[in-house]
Amino acid sequence: MSNTPKKTVTITDNATGKSAEFPVLAGSIGPEVIDIRALHPQLGYFTFDPGFMATGSCESSITYIDGDEGVLLHRGYKIADLAEQSDFLEVCYLLLNGELPNAGQKQEFDHAITYHTMVHEQMQFFLRGFRRDAHPMAVMCGLVGAMSAFYHDSTDIHDPQQRMIAAHRLIAKMPTLAAMAYKYSVGQPTVYPSNDLSYAQNFLRMLFAVPCETWKDNPVLSRAMDRILILHADHEQNASTSTVRLSGSSGANPFACIAAGIASLWGPAHGGANEAVLTMLQQIGHKNNIPEFVKRAKDKNDSFRLMGFGHRVYKNYDPRAKVMQDTCREVLGTLGIKDPLLDLAMELERIALEDEYFVDRKLYPNVDFYSGIILRAMGFPTSMFTVLFAVARTVGWISQWKEMIEDPAQKIGRPRQLYTGPVERPFVPLAKRG
């Protein structure tokens, strides 16, 4: 730990009168944490915190969120500044290495990523084993997991060079795999990567180019794609990142860990929300129906929730949602699209933000509320929304995985539990069971 504790907290067991003192650790910003690792040896208790409501699972210097103020910093830089002034590969370098690159480092890094975009040709045959109607997230779990079977020279987690190569490979190859999954689902030929293009341009070309037509870059769309990638690049210890860390804590190889992260991201409470927002807006259909759906979202007996609303950490406007809303207007303006779903989304946001239920619970739009509308305008089918999130989040996952492996205090993640099952009892032979 980088902390030298100055404060302590004393816990007293009222039943036994026994007390123990625990160090309080301070980060650079954010709430201090009580280091309770010695709680069990000292007082004989474990803590109970399902869902990690108040539990820090690791020390990290990558991303900071102040949920009350709506602040998101990567290595100290505000997300809005990065989205405005940086580009995705620069943000990748920052997350992986801790600092923004200088001109030479940037050129070298862009080259390292750009020139590793191709995947082993045999991946094509592996891909063809999937049903054509498979959800692309199912395909991504498989393809990324399979990378560990293709790239043996970057699975030794104890070799820093191999760790970095694995990180570069994952960042470089994710768009290629995502585009392959998409092309396969629509029955079009795979478009191979083009290393003359930027990361975002190359991704869009692999997705939307067809051999019989010349693909042309639309700078507003490639800039929007770059910005969407930046906005999703990392987000502290969310469910998928924690899944990657927990998988990696056992010493599993990085490709397997990222595949685990993709599986976790798929859920509608996490990365699957962007797909769910669009489905919800289509279901609402018209502004006149908003009150009925808002009423349902508030009803505890109804499982319906306003998708794209609320967040475990943000109790204020998600700073990513603001940039996303501006990008949404820009993209729709450029494409000359008047999407009634955008008007519907804005009206839904207005009504919810004036509603006591959402105000009291501090439920604001999150990053997923507007991203689906932009992606739809750009030509992405709904099933690809979460795949795009996975492409962008790969750098966050691998940076957090690398940080964990490089932490000398790293241990296998092994939560405890509150057991409520039967106590020890004698085995009853089958013939004697009632």
Candidates 40-48, 124-132, 219-227, 359-367 — which segment interacts with ligand CMC by CB under 6 A?
A: 359-367
Span near ligand CMC by CB under 6 A; candidates 87-95, 100-108, 264-272, 322-330 = 264-272
Question: What part of residues 170-199 is at the interface with ligand CMC (CB under 6 A)?
Answer: none
Among 311, 384, 397, 402, binds ligand CMC (CB under 6 A): 311
d(CA 390, CA 114): 18
Task: Determine how β-strand 71-74 pairs with β-strand 19-25.
Answer: unpaired
C-beta of 287: minimal distance to ligand CMC in Å?
19
DSSP 373: H
Residues labelled as active-site residues: 311, 368
Q: How many residues bind ligand CMC (CB under 6 A)?
A: 20
| CA–CA distance, 208 with 197 (Å, rounded to integer) | 14
Q: Does 367 bind ligand CMC (CB under 6 A)?
A: yes
Asked whether position 312 contacts ligand CMC by CB under 6 A, the answer is yes
**Residue nearest ligand CMC (C-beta atom):** 310
Name residues contacting ligand CMC, limited to 272-291 (CB under 6 A). Answer: 273
Listed in sequence order, the residues at least 6 apart from 175 whose beta carbon sits closer than 8 Å to its beta carbon are: 117, 193, 199, 202, 203, 206, 391
With CB under 6 A as the contact rule, which of the stretches 27-35, 59-67, 104-112, 267-275 interacts with ligand CMC?
Answer: 267-275
How far is 119 from 177, CA to CA, in rounded Å? 8
* Residue span binding ligand CMC (CB under 6 A) among the ranges 9-17, 266-274, 281-289, 341-349: 266-274
The long-range contacts involving 43-49, CB below 8 angstroms and separated by at least 24 positions, are: 43/11, 43/13, 43/18, 45/13, 46/416, 46/418, 48/418
List 73's β-bridge partners, or say none.
64, 78
Interaction between residue 393 and ligand CMC (CB under 6 A) = no
What is the per-residue binding string for ligand CMC in 319-358, x denoting contact by CB under 6 A?
A: ----------------------------------------
Query: By CB under 6 A, is residue 370 in contact with ligand CMC?
Result: no
Strand partners, 77: 74
The DSSP result for 200-255, as a single string, is HHHHHHHHH--TTS-----HHHHHHHHHHHHHTS--SS-HHHHHHHHHHTTT--HH
**Closer CB to ligand CMC, residue 267 or residue 413?**
267
Q: Does residue 307 belong to the site contacting ligand CMC (CB under 6 A)? A: yes
Residues 221-260 that bind ligand CMC (CB under 6 A): 235, 238
State the angle between helix axes of 385-405 and 219-231 in degrees (0 to 180), rounded to the nearest 10.
50
For residue 95, give the nearest of 409, 386, 319, 401 by alpha carbon.
Answer: 401
Report the residue from 106, 120, 287, 305 that binds ligand CMC according to the rule CB under 6 A: 305
Residue number with CB closer to ligand CMC (171 or 278): 278
Half-sphere exposure of 381 (CA within 13 A, CB side): 14
The residue (of 119 and 258) whose beta carbon lies closer to ligand CMC is: 258
Strands 7-12 and 19-25: antiparallel
Structural element, H or E, at residue 148: helix 136-150
- Options 74-82, 183-191, 283-291, 301-309: segment touching ligand CMC (CB under 6 A): 301-309
Residue 90 binds ligand CMC, judged by CB under 6 A? no
Residues that bind ligand CMC (CB under 6 A): 235, 238, 269-271, 273, 297, 305-312, 361, 363, 366-368
